[in-house]
A = this chain, B = another copy of it.
Amino acid sequence: MKLLERLPRESGGEYALRTIKENIVSLELAPGSQISENELASEMGLSRTPVREALIELSKVKIVDIQPQKKSTIPLIDYDMVEESRFMRSLLECAVAELDCQMACPEDLERLSENIRLQNLYLDEFYSGQFVTLDNQFHGMLFDIAKKSQVYALIQNISIHFDRVRTMALSSVKNTKIVQDHVDLVDAIRRKDAKAAQELMEKHLNRYDIDAAALRAVYPQYFK
Contact = CB atoms under 8 A, between A and B. Distances in A.
Contact of A154 (B61, B80, B91, B147): B61
Total copies of this chain within the assembly: 2
Interface string A69-90: 0000000000011001001100
Chain A contact surface mostly:
helix
A11 interface: yes
A11 to B, nearest CB: 7
Contact of A11 (B49, B68, B84, B95): B68
Interface string A84-106: 10011001100100000000000
| Nearest 8 pairs of A and B residues by beta carbon | A84-B150, A88-B151, A91-B91, A91-B95, A84-B151, A84-B148, A154-B158, A53-B56
A157 B154 CA distance: 10
10 contacts: A57-B60, A60-B153, A61-B150, A61-B154, A84-B150, A87-B151, A88-B151, A91-B95, A92-B92, A154-B155
Contacts of A155: 154
Contacts of A84: 147-148, 150-151
A148 B87 contact: yes
A62 interface: yes
A158 B11 CA distance: 24
Most B CB atoms within 10 A — which of A61, A62, A87? A87
